[in-house]
Amino acid sequence: AQTVTQSQPEMSVQEAETVTLSCTYDTSESDYYLFWYKQPPSRQMILVIRQEAYKQQNATENRFSVNFQKAAKSFSLKISDSQLGDAAMYFCAYRRTGNQFYFGTGTSLTVIP
């Protein structure tokens, strides 16, 4: 089974600053997707950003960007200009097309005003 590792259980960032959340994964497949999900206290899973493994270009969504290193099996999330509403649990996830997600253990992000 695929494994996803998030080595930072907790992170904090000053409002308006930048923070990077780390994620590594293990797979023998070449075609897959990687995701970052945000889970606020409501527990609803909110898609932050996704990356197709076949694309070399790093995905970007407004203040959120990833650093995808396929050979190193690394997929970090950078949040720029952090806002109070960014505070949440962040999960890195791996998925093959049509199949189930494999989630990391999560990183709890605190944004300090």
Contact residues: other proteins, CB under 8 A = 42-45, 47, 91, 95, 97-98, 100-106
Q: Which is nearer to other proteins, 9 or 15 (CB)?
A: 9
Q: Strand ranges (DSSP E) for the chain?
A: 3-5, 10-14, 19-21, 24-26, 33-39, 46-52, 60-61, 64-69, 74-79, 88-95, 101-103, 107-112
Q: Which is nearer to other proteins, 66 or 104 (CB)?
A: 104
Least separation in angstroms between CB 103 and other proteins: 5
Least separation in angstroms between CB 44 and other proteins: 5
